[in-house]
Amino acid sequence: MGNRLNAALARVASEERKKRQLEQSLRLEIEAKLNEITILNSQLIASKTDLERAETKAQVEEDKRIKLEVAEFNRLQAERERLQSQATQLERYKSDFFGRIRELLEGKEGIKIVGDRFVFSSEVLFDVGKADLSMPGRL
């Protein structure tokens, strides 16, 4: 009976040792996994922060691009309006000038008005063979 008891106690002690070793091994494995999770969480947070920075930078660049496009559109629109106004004004001056010249030259001998052109020979302004304006050419 003493041998059986000793053998049983030895088995129990051996199983207890194995159990403690297994528990220790599991604790170490759990600790390693927790460290791995901590590292992965830190990397995830860093990646998230980098992504947020990149998104912010992209949004800032997009906002700048839109502002530049709007400014360029407004500049081109203002330039278009200025040129249109200038063209209208020049057309009016052209019409006024042509109207005044027409009034002055209408009925003058040797001058014909064809469309928006005045057709006349050089003798209207210069004497034959001369380079100086004649008296009628000065008027």
Q: How far is CA 24 from the centre of its chain?
A: 62
How many domains are there within the chain?
Answer: 2
User: Both 81 and 138 in a single domain?
Assistant: no
Q: Which two tokens stand for residue 95?
A: 């019409």
Do residues 88 and 24 both lie within one domain?
yes
| Residue among 118, 117, 113, 135 at smallest CA distance from 126 | 135
Claim to verify: residue 65 and residue 133 sit in the same structural domain: no
Report the C-alpha gap between 104 and 96 in whole angstroms: 12
Clarify whether residues 14 and 78 are in a common domain. Answer: yes
Pair (100, 122) in one structural domain: no
Whether residues 100 and 136 fall in one domain: no
Q: Based on the fold, state whether residues 34 and 52 are members of the same structural domain.
A: yes
Question: From first to last of its 139 residues, what are the pLDDT tens digits of the chain?
Answer: 778 888 888 898 899 999 999 999 999 999 999 999 999 999 999 999 999 999 999 999 999 999 999 999 999 999 999 999 999 998 888 888 888 888 887 887 778 888 878 887 777 778 888 888 887 766 6
pTM tops 0.75, yes or no: no
Q: What pLDDT does 6 receive? A: 86
Query: Quick one: 61 and 118 in the same domain?
Result: no
What are the Cα distances from residue 64, in Å, to 67, 68, 73, 138?
Answer: 5, 6, 14, 62
- pLDDT at 53 (0 to 100): 98
Do residue 46 and residue 86 come from a single domain?
Answer: yes
- What is the pLDDT at residue 137? 66
Q: Which domain holds residue 123?
A: 107-139
